Amino acid sequence: MLYIVLSVLCSVSVAALLKLTKKFQIPVEPIVTLNYITALLLSYYLFAPDIQKFSASEIPWHIYIPLVVLLPTVFIFLGMSVKNIGIVKTDIAQRLSLFISILAAYFIFNENIGVLKLSGLAVGFSAIFLTLHKKNKNTSKSNNWLYPCIVFIGFGVIDVFFKKVAQQQQIPFTTSLFYIFSGALSISLLISLFYIIKKSYKLNRKTLYAGILLGLLNFGNIYFYLQAHKSLSQNPSTVFASMNFGVIVLGSLVGVILFKEKLSKINYIGISLALIAVALITLSQLYV
């Protein structure tokens, strides 16, 4: 369970750090690039990927390329979402993106969807609507809901492609991760260069430290999550439930208590429904 706790802490800390970038006036684009540099170095030294073993023809580019493009771009929208609507709602949107994975499991991977999963889907979509609900008279902020929607769809699609990566037998998952991080870094560099040239932004120590810390936390989230699945290989539903429950609850506490994010009664109902949805989907895994 220690790995699950560490993964939850890293995941929520990523959101908290992105929230703080607004306070310290640090742009998201450069720190996302520094994040991938850090993650790439860590994956190389910890996973020791055998990158010279595989030829270009053996690499499943049709799976890697979408991830290479989506990872940095959705990460930037994650930062925008945290800045504009807060940690609580963004974490809910990210966690409930698993419903896209469930739909993909049925339509793409030909898996059966039982009554519990269907119930979880119904409750989950209601949770998203209620969590993101906000009475806002300020029309300049009326489009902020787009950020969590992109996070919801983006992370759902990313998860689907990672499932495809896991199905590849010829290349180990950790080696695939190194290839994907390398490509994501290239795309992120292009985005950052465009931002720096357009905004005439000069990198400083705050940006450097924030980017490295983001990379450590983001990689820690992935690493500890994988370790949790290894340690509890006979109980994947335990890992799934603990991770999603933990992030939703801790993210909500951090957002409300530390960052004073204001939530309505309807939002709290949405958070409760999100927990119920995760519980239903977890129970459905137990009865497969």
Give yes or no for residue 135 having a pLDDT over 80.
no
* Residues 78 and 21 sit within 8 Å (Cβ to Cβ): no
pTM > 0.75: yes
Give residue 240's identity as a one-letter amino acid code.
F
Quick one: pLDDT at residue 139? 45
Residue 51 pLDDT level (bands cut at 50, 70, 90):
confident
pLDDT reported for residue 136: 56
Residues near 86 by beta carbon (within 8 Å), at least 6 away in sequence: 19, 255, 259, 261
Most confident of 7-11, 97-101, 132-136: 7-11
pLDDT at 259 exceeding the cut of 90: yes
Report the chain's mean pLDDT, rounded to a whole number.
89
Q: Which residue has the tokens 């029309």?
A: 139
Q: Which two tokens mark 152?
A: 């919801």
> What is the spatial distance between Cα 253 and Cα 260, in angstroms, rounded to a whole number?
10
Residue 230 DSSP SS3: helix
Mean pLDDT over 186-200 rounds to 89
Picking from 197, 209, 184, the residue whose alpha carbon sits closest to that of residue 72 is 184
| Phi, psi angle pair for 52, to nearest 5° | -85, -10
* pLDDT of 142 over the 60 cut: no
Q: Give me the pLDDT at residue 86, please.
A: 93
